[in-house]
Amino acid sequence: MDYFAHPNALCESTQIGSGTRVWAFAHVLPNARIGSDCNICDNVFVENDVVVGDRVTVKCGVQLWDGVVIEDDVFIGPNATFTNDLFPRSRQYPEAFGKTLIQAGASIGANATILPGITVGRNAMIGAGSVVTRSVPPNAIVVGNPARITGYVDAHANTHSPAEHGNSKSVGTSATSIEGVTLHTLRAVPDMRGSLSVGEFERDIPFKPLRYFLVYDVPTAETRGEHAHRTCHQFLIAVKGKVSVVADDGKRREEFKLDSPSIGVYLPPMTWGIQYRYSADAVLLVFASDYYDNADYIRDHGEFLRLKVGGAGQS
């Protein structure tokens, strides 16, 4: 065999990749599959219908039950708990166990609990002690019970200062670190009778819209967006309250805080967009360059990355 098994480990499977290390008191059942260069620490139990990819770290005290699939480069912290039956009863078994998929590069903190039937997206991070009750988007950071999104991995906050809103010297367009994405300070006119913010299409807003929509009454814990467009351009303004927008060009992520009607962010085609951290009173206005077309949406982040590499979908 070309993997290491501690003398006090019980490895019944013949499907363990080269360079993998299985430490003391770990138990791997006969039909389990474990990839190369993994680190299976003390007191880990791996059931039969389990697939573990390459370069996976499973720390002490973890049980991987039937139905769990772990992709490459995943970190699983000590005593993280996986489940595969939403309604368990002693000596009663479901027709099929719930499936759980942990996608490549994700990290699960110590003592987190993962309910069955969900997917934890690529590079997501699950906080220690969190209880994950529904699927987690790629790159999301979730914490709590039930786990909620609190941020996105490597989504650096834009440093635009809201204090400059309404200052005529600051009106204009600012470049960002995300390909094609720009931040716009629109003209604001304060008045004792009521303030006004104005922008002109194809001047301040870099396209002529064919559609608009409003997003409001969003529960503060919810996340919207989580998609890209093949050809549609969008311009986002929080006309009331506060909304955080994450833009992702496939290489970098940046987060923008929309907290004034005079601040907008432009998302060109083939930009993965996310909106979250809605304040209770938030109203998000979105101008779109095209009529609604479901075929224009890319809703899977993995597909988005593949298309970015291939150059498909650009307008």
> Which residues are the active-site residues?
227
CB 126 within 8 A of CB 135: no
Tokens of 97: 């166990």
Structural contact between residues 67 and 84, judged by C-beta atoms closer than 8 angstroms: yes
Closest CA to 172 of 266, 286, 245: 266
154: alpha, beta or left? (left if phi > 0; alpha if psi -120 to 50): left
Q: Which residues of 33-72 are buried (b: 16+ CB within 10 A; e: fewer)?
A: bbbbbbbbbbbbbbbebbbbbbbbebbbbbbbbbbbbbbb
CA atoms lying within 13 Å on the CB side of residue 61: 10
Q: Which of 49, 148, 147, 60 is nearest to 98 (CA)?
A: 49
**96 with 109: CB under 8 angstroms?**
no
Inter-residue contact 292 to 226 (CB < 8 Å): no
Cα 69 from Cα 86, distance rounded (Å):
17
